[in-house]
Amino acid sequence: MKKVFFKTFGCRTNVFDSQVMMSRLEGYEITQDEAAADVVVVNSCTVTNGADSSVRGYVNQLHSKGNAKILLTGCGAHTKGESLLNDRKVFGVFGQSEKEKINTLLAAKQPFYELGDLDFIDNNIVDDFVGKSRAFIKIQEGCDFRCSYCIIPLVRGDARSINEETILIQIRNLAANGFGEFVLTGTNVGSYGKGEGRNIASLMKKIALIRGVRRIRLGSIEPIQIDDEFKEILSEPWLEQHLHIALQHTSKEMLRIMNRRNKFESDRLLFQELSEKGFALGTDFIVGHPGESDVLWREAMENIETLPLTHIHAFTYSKRDGTPSALMKSSINGMLSKARMQELTAIVDAKNIAFRQQYKGALEVLIESCKEGLYYGLDQHFNKIVVRSNEELEGNWIQVKDYTVEREYNYAEF
């Protein structure tokens, strides 16, 4: 049987999409060894210039080896697919909506370019996650927000939700196969059920009733989507004690320039409320967007000091053709962006250590991997923990009471 290697870039939604393609393979064998592959399916990302160059670099390196047929899919298919096909760097290009045809596409004798449509709704059910100890569940796709810097709505389409029963069947199957932790993912997860009389809180309550479900995590959510119904589930034992709430900036004027729907004053009140309930709080932040003057940067840093943050995904602005921000004049060079990134991450790293030092309770940990006799996992606050033990712990849930707070992780003997 011909061997297929899946290379997945980008977000958890891509991880899910790759799992769907793997679970549908017929007449082909999945290999984890790229060198042994007859075909390599590159599930690409295009959210930043960095993502584009990683994908292009990977495809060029594969192409120069010349061993395998290369197929490109994912968000990069919509932005880079045509040029990579015309340059004969890839044999075929297909959009996310075409992934169910994976066996036909793998067998294609002629080069192809099938982007499909951006309105499709994914009703695939996966009942395993190769090499993972937690399951990523796509519940939604696309986004109706129109942040001025973002290309995602152009490559993932408008917001639409996966059928509720499909999601619940999937989780029942995965829980029956031993998965206990579920990460709900999508492009704009908080938009789940929009316009259909359902929402993320009601879905999570139903998921929590499924036998074997131990912890539910959310990929990311927008501040304005944390409504009263969502606040009702905050004290549920199955909800991770960590939320990733995408702010993208903390200057009022920058949020306006970036066409964000959140407002700093209400963000600050929300974060305060959640922190008082013991939540660890993460966010996304884009540094160096056009308009980010020194004055606005100072304002943003003064504001971020007031937020009880514990985690940050900070990115430097990346001009994406086709977005409104791409037409804006930018005066922030790479050096300045880098310095601002360092200032920002240093502030949040210090807050993370302070959070871990002040927390006195037990840590609920799912051990995910083991390397050189040390076990690695994440606790309920999405903080890393390293555990030394003579027991076989991989895939196990453990409760840790005695541990030390190190710079980047907690450490325990078990």
Binding residue for ligand SF4, selected from 15, 41, 147, 385, defined by CB under 6 A: 147
What binding mask, one character per residue, do residues 318-357 give for ligand SF4 by CB under 6 A, x or -?
----------------------------------------
Q: Any contact of residue 412 with ligand SF4 (CB under 6 A)?
A: no
* CA dist., res. 206 & res. 213, Å (int): 11
Q: Any contact of residue 139 with ligand SF4 (CB under 6 A)?
A: no
Contact indicator for 358, 366 with CB cutoff of 8 Å: no
Distances (CA, A) of 327 to 291, 322, 330, 357, 380: 12, 9, 9, 45, 42
Contact indicator for 157, 142 with CB cutoff of 8 Å: yes
* CA dist., res. 111 & res. 26, Å (int): 21
- Collect all residues with Cβ–Cβ distance below 8 Å to 53 and sequence separation of at least 6: none
Count of residues of this chain found to bind ligand SF4 when the rule CB under 6 A is applied: 9
Q: Any contact of residue 153 with ligand SF4 (CB under 6 A)?
A: yes
- Collect all residues with Cβ–Cβ distance below 8 Å to 249 and sequence separation of at least 6: 255, 258, 260, 285, 286, 289, 300
CB of 145 to ligand SF4, least distance (A): 4
Q: Any contact of residue 187 with ligand SF4 (CB under 6 A)?
A: yes
Binding region for ligand SF4 (CB under 6 A) out of 75-83, 139-147, 306-314, 393-401: 139-147
Q: Any contact of residue 145 with ligand SF4 (CB under 6 A)?
A: yes
Q: Any contact of residue 150 with ligand SF4 (CB under 6 A)?
A: yes
The SS3 assignment for 359 reads coil
Closest CA to 41 of 13, 74, 12: 74
Binding residue for ligand SF4, selected from 71, 84, 106, 152, defined by CB under 6 A: 152
Q: Any contact of residue 254 with ligand SF4 (CB under 6 A)?
A: no
Length of the chain (residues): 414
Contact indicator for 377, 387 with CB cutoff of 8 Å: yes
Q: Any contact of residue 79 with ligand SF4 (CB under 6 A)?
A: no
Backbone phi and psi for residue 365, each to the nearest 5 degrees, phi listed first = -125, 135
Place of tokens 């871990």: 356
Q: Any contact of residue 129 with ligand SF4 (CB under 6 A)?
A: no
Binding region for ligand SF4 (CB under 6 A) out of 21-29, 82-90, 118-126, 140-148: 140-148
Binding region for ligand SF4 (CB under 6 A) out of 84-92, 143-151, 336-344, 349-357: 143-151
Binding region for ligand SF4 (CB under 6 A) out of 25-33, 123-131, 150-158, 389-397: 150-158
Q: Residue numbers of the site for ligand SF4 (CB under 6 A)?
A: 143, 145-147, 150, 152-153, 187-188
